[in-house]
Structure 1
Amino acid sequence: MAFVLLAGCVPVLPGGGQADGSALDGGMQSAGTLGNDHVRPGQRWWASLPVPYNRSGRPVEITDARFTQVPEGLEVVGYGAYAQDDSEGVVLLMQQGSVGMPRLDEFENHLHDVNRVRAKSESDVYYGAWLKVTGRISGNLGGCRYEYRQGGRSFDQTLDCDIALRIERQGAP
């Protein structure tokens, strides 16, 4: 069962010696909580970061995307970046092997490609992480950090994102 709750935005956070960026926006994915409360230890899940929208008047080149807050009970197994056209849209959250969901591992992973996003445009590529449930999950996955270049300078920008995966209670349907 997935759910969405409205939440506020988080300010931009500094990182790795790069300037604080402000060119990106996460849209509706940055405005709520996405989750599932039927998770079991040992399962693998895909969780998407917000699709970056370049709200500035100049193009950006996204070079990396990561979650900065990974709670105890979840392990990041790997990151991926996939073309929306390949997966027929954005896969926000899914359990690996879910019936009817695209097999992301069959698509080209653009993680190590520079993703050029035009001014006032949404990225054609979306980013996310493969997660392994290792035990009781202590909090929410969040802090969606992007690294990008714009106008010859490097920037870090963290967008609000909140993903709540919860271990299914014993006896729950």
Structure 2
Amino acid sequence: MLRGRGTALEGAGKSSNPVGYEHTQVGKEYWVNMPQMENASGKPLTVLSGKIVHVPAGLRIAAYRVVSDGAGPHPTGVTPVGVTDDHALAHKRSSFRIPAHTLSHLYYEARIKVTGTVHGDLTNCRYEYRQGSTTHHEDIGCDTRIRLGKPVDG
């Protein structure tokens, strides 16, 4: 199987829209939404994995999962683990298919653990996908600023 840099993922997540959350606590975990993907090519593809490439000191990736945006708009931002029903929209598979010229209703979330003072932002989301017999990787801009602060009451 050949590997190369891909160009099929476009649209909603191609440009980076910075998101911030300034209420994190050391030792706590949070879900960070990764960009929604659109298959801009004329052929279907299967997304195999997604990850955040740059994780600054003070944060650690604990896990990734695939979730659905349901019938609503794609959420952006950071949510404390356990605040909502974490498993309501989660999917059991880590890969999924996107038809040609289609915006996916599935996307990845990263479970982030705060380990200390955060020194930088989470940036650069990388997706690996298969189209035909070729596996590609493609970066989509993502920028999430997480900082320590007073917890949100709730």
TM-score (norm 1): 0.77
2:111 counterpart of 1:126: no
2:19 counterpart of 1:34: yes
Q: Is the 8 A contact 2:16 2:140 kept in 1?
A: no
Q: CA RMSD in A?
A: 2.1
User: Which residue of structure 2 aligns with residue 151 of structure 1?
Assistant: 132
CA distance in 1, matches of 2:90, 2:24: 27
User: Which residue of structure 1 aligns with residue 68 of structure 2?
Assistant: 83
The C-alpha deviation readout for 1:116-142, integer Å capped at 9, x for no partner, is 101111112110111111110010001
Higher-strand-fraction structure: 2
User: Which residue of structure 1 aligns with residue 121 of structure 2?
Assistant: 140
User: Which residue of structure 2 aligns with residue 6 of structure 1?
Assistant: none
Choose between structure 1 and 2 for higher RCO, CA contacts under 8 A separated by at least 6 residues: 2
The C-alpha deviation readout for 1:51-77, integer Å capped at 9, x for no partner, is 111111111110111111111101111
Which SS does the other structure have where 1:155 is aligned? Answer: strand
Select 2:32's aligned residue among 32, 47, 68. Answer: 47
User: Which residue of structure 2 aligns with residue 10 of structure 1?
Assistant: none
Which of structure 1's runs of 4+ aligned residues deviate more than 6 A?
A: none
Q: Taking structure 1 as reference, are residues 29 and 95 closer, same or farther at Cα in structure 2, changes over 3 Å only?
A: farther
Structure 2 regions of 5+ residues with no counterpart?
none
CA distance in 1, matches of 2:132, 2:87: 33
Aligned-partner residue type, residue 139 of structure 1: G
- Cα displacement (A) at 1:95: 1.3
Give the share of equivalent positions with the same residue, in percent: 29
Q: Taking structure 1 as reference, are residues 144 and 136 closer, same or farther at Cα in structure 2, changes over 3 Å only?
A: same
User: Which residue of structure 2 aligns with residue 59 of structure 1?
Assistant: 44
Structure 1 regions of 5+ residues with no counterpart?
1-16
TM-score (norm 2): 0.86
- Cα displacement (A) at 1:107: 4.2
CA distance in 1, matches of 2:89, 2:79: 16
Q: For this pair of structures, how many residues does the alignment match?
A: 148
